[in-house]
Amino acid sequence: MSKRDFYEVLGVSRTVTEVELKTAYRRLAMKHHPDRNPGDKTSEETFKEAKQAYEVLSDPAKRRAYDQHGHAAFESGMGGRGGAGFNDVGDIFGDIFGDIFGGGRARQPRRGADLRYTIELDLDEAVAGLERDIHVPSLVVCDTCHGSGSSDGKTHTCKTCHGHGRVRIQQGVFSIQQACPHCEGTGKSIESPCGDCHGNGRVETERVLKVKIPAGVDAGDRIRLTGEGEAGPSGAPSGDLYVDVQVRPHPIFQRDGDDLYCEVPIRFSQAALGATINVPTLDGTAEIRVPEETQTGKMFRLRGKGVKSVRSRSTGDLICKVVVETPVLLTNIQRELLEKFEETFAGIDPARHSPRSSSFMDGVKSFWDRITS
């Protein structure tokens, strides 16, 4: 037995309560447990000291004896156990860490696994919403044995763990409990397995599920279908199915949140003289008025022509960016007219008709002046 003061070992005062004592021990045990510190002799000794201290101080009778006589209370001739009983981790860890080391009770069957399914939508489908059938491979409850895994519906006490659901494994001076490998912690065994599921209680199949996609979903959104995952073993609850939404690229629109963006090509004559043009929307067309002298990149916002939010009642906008397009495949007449038009610029200050070109050239001149000076 350690000769250090037990209160000092656990880092508590002599007036420590039962709850404070358990908290202090748990902190030390989790930090210095041999499974977390393989080969670390210092941690192993610290863990053993903490365990000894907790076993004494958590027992009211032992604590009174220790407070009165110290370590001598547990040495030969004082009615103590001479330090015996400190080698079984399960004795105390069953109380402190029952979920980890078992506590001697058979565990409840685990919940079925969650499943993930990716659904691809066109932009108009994501905006409008829809219902779609999906095919999901999954484990479902066996219809023959109704999930029991037994052909006659009977289960028996596991002969390996004797119904406890856990077995004890010796590792040096420590013994650790873990789930029984034969019954997987249920404490039950099947002597006459079902012929269809081979005792598993579940069979593989492909289910067809109808998924309702709400209007306004976007790429990265996830829809949860509770209880539509894999069936749990031995009658445990089923997991959930998560449907991840992916949206295919659209040839015209790009989406940003609830807003839509598109580029609208216009002729340079329309940009110079102004025009009324039709632009596409998700539900048809709309008109925008392009004022004269419009430059490439100008944005026009159409309120309420975007996407209705899946999380609120608001609707986004459609933002149209005009792009002045250079004409191609000119006819002779068009070429002659353009040449005459170009001649009209002779002798005129470029800043008058081409402000961007003028400011660009000013910037270039300033740049060259800086690097050559």
Q: Supply the CATH number for residue 49's domain.
A: 1.10.287.110
pLDDT at 296: 93
Give the structural domain span for 62. 6-86
Among residues 234, 298, 216, 248, the alpha carbon closest in space to that of 106 is found at 234
The token duo for 245 is 């939404």
The H or E element containing residue 6 is: helix 6-10
Q: What is the CATH number of the domain that holds 313?
A: 2.60.260.20
DSSP output for 48-82: HHHHHHHHHHTSHHHHHHHHHHGGGGGSTTTTS-T
Among residues 96, 124, 122, the alpha carbon closest in space to that of 23 is found at 96
- Residue 91: pLDDT above 60? no
pLDDT at 94: 43
The larger pLDDT score, comparing residue 148 to residue 135, is at: 135
User: Which has the minimum average pLDDT: 57-61, 90-94, 194-198, 313-317?
Assistant: 90-94
The token duo for 78 is 């004082």
The token duo for 242 is 């998560």
- What b/e sequence results for 188-200 when a residue is b if at least 16 CB atoms lie within 10 Å of its CB, and e otherwise? bbbeeebeebebb
pLDDT-derived band at 75 (thresholds 50, 70, 90) equals low
Q: Are the C-beta atoms of residues 229 and 241 closer than 8 Å to each other?
A: yes
pLDDT at 350: 62
Query: Would you say residue 92 lies in a domain?
Result: no
pTM of the predicted model as reported, rounded to 2 decimal places: 0.59
293 and 342: one domain? no
CA distance 302 to 279: 10
Return all residues near 155 (Cβ < 8 A) that are at least 6 apart. Answer: 148, 188, 189, 190
Query: Would you say residue 179 lies in a domain?
Result: yes
304 and 361: one domain? no
What crossing angle do the helices spanning 41-57 and 18-32 adopt, rounded to 10°? 160
Last residue in a domain, options 247, 271, 295: 247
The token duo for 246 is 């992916």
pLDDT, tens digit (0-9, with 9 covering 90-100), for 33-53: 877 777 788 888 888 888 888
Q: Are the C-beta atoms of residues 177 and 94 closer than 8 Å to each other?
A: yes
The token duo for 96 is 């402190």
pLDDT, tens digit (0-9, with 9 covering 90-100), for 222-233: 999 999 999 987
Tell me the mean pLDDT in the region 281-309: 94
Return all residues near 324 (Cβ < 8 A) that are at least 6 apart. Answer: 265, 266, 267, 268, 271, 294, 295, 296
239 and 275: one domain? no
Query: Would you say residue 259 lies in a domain?
Result: yes
133 and 232: one domain? yes
266 and 196: one domain? no
Tell me the mean pLDDT in the region 264-284: 94
pLDDT, tens digit (0-9, with 9 covering 90-100), for 340-360: 998 998 887 766 777 666 565
Last residue in a domain, options 42, 66, 86: 86
Q: Are the C-beta atoms of residues 167 and 187 closer than 8 Å to each other?
A: no
Last residue in a domain, options 247, 273, 306: 247
239 and 272: one domain? no
pLDDT-derived band at 321 (thresholds 50, 70, 90) equals very high
278 and 302: one domain? yes
191 and 156: one domain? yes
Domain count, the chain: 4
C-beta neighbour count of 106 within 10 angstroms: 20
pLDDT at 61: 84
Cross-strand partners of 189: 156
